Amino acid sequence: MRFKLLIVLVEDTKTEQIMNAAREAGATGATVVGDARGEGLNPKKTFFGLTLESQRDMVMFVVEEHLSRKILERVAEEAGFEENPGSGVAFQLNVEDAIGLGGQIMCLMDEVEERL
């Protein structure tokens, strides 16, 4: 079984919404790293040296490769990345090897068979 790592950078107010959308599309779990920062094409405005922007979370999903694109597209749709520039970004990377997914592999095998 091959896996992809989906990384989603999104406003912290949308984290639960993103996790639910990913789960509906086939993700079996997530890791959330809070308090991420970033800067796009146009730096955020400041007020007396304080940046006026919301907190970001980095949400990571290890998913079966056949489900990865569908999950990625569903997350992007839910977050409105294409309609709202600066609202976040999502991307996927190949996972060379993974340990600790034994409990999820049986569930993933059934999930992949159902969805393909």
CATH number at residue 96: 3.30.70.120
Verdict on whether the full-model pTM lies above 0.75 = yes
Count of beta carbons in the 10 Å neighbourhood of residue 70: 15
Q: What percent of the chain has pLDDT over 70?
A: 73
Instruction: Please give the residue range of the domain that contains residue 85.
Output: 3-39+51-115
Quick: pLDDT tens for 83-110.
Answer: 988 788 999 999 998 888 777 766 766 6
Total of domains in the chain = 1
The rounded distance, in Å, linking the Cα atoms of 9 and 41 is: 16
The rounded distance, in Å, linking the Cα atoms of 59 and 64 is: 16
